[in-house]
Amino acid sequence: MKEKMYKIYYGEGENDYIRRYLKEEDILDGFLNESKAFDIFYDNMIMCNSYVSNNYEQLDYIIDSYDEENDSYVDEYQVFIIDPAYDEDITRMATEKMGNTLYYDYKNELYLTGITDLGTRRSYVRTDLKVIEDKEKY
């Protein structure tokens, strides 16, 4: 499939975007799918499901999984150590738009993300990262 240049909006501001070439299958109803979002915003991901429970005392919650509407925490089914591709602000904003949690382990200097959806292929999970075709010439 042919790739086109798109703007991916990770924040709320009009300048909170990055440009990337994407294929049609990377986009779901005008939003980036989770698989491509992981690929763009995280350089590496290592699954470590027991990490949070074993290191709870040394973690800072940057984004938690609290659901205000239901007054409860959303279950995390998978936890990954991630290597952010961008600075902490962009990583936080993008992860929030992905609908996942974000932790920082200050003792080991690691970022982690928790996945709250289960059993769905990541390429079928829509994020809130809006995608608009970039028609500017370079």
Residue 81 forms beta bridges with which residues?
46, 112
Q: What integer is the mean pLDDT of 16-28?
A: 96
Entry pTM: 0.86
Q: Flag whether pLDDT at 86 surpasses 90.
A: yes
Residue 43 is predicted with a pLDDT of 94
Residue 122 is predicted with a pLDDT of 86
Q: Flag whether pLDDT at 64 surpasses 70.
A: yes
Query: Which of the two residues, 74 and 103, has the higher pLDDT score?
Result: 103
Q: What is the DSSP track for the chain?
A: ---EEEEEE-SSSTT-EEEEEE-GGGEETTEEEHHHHHHHHEEEEEE-TTHHHHSGGGEEEEE--EETTTTEEPPP-EEEEEEESS-HHHHHHHHHHHT-EEEEETTTTEEEEEE---SS-GGG-EEEEEEEE-----
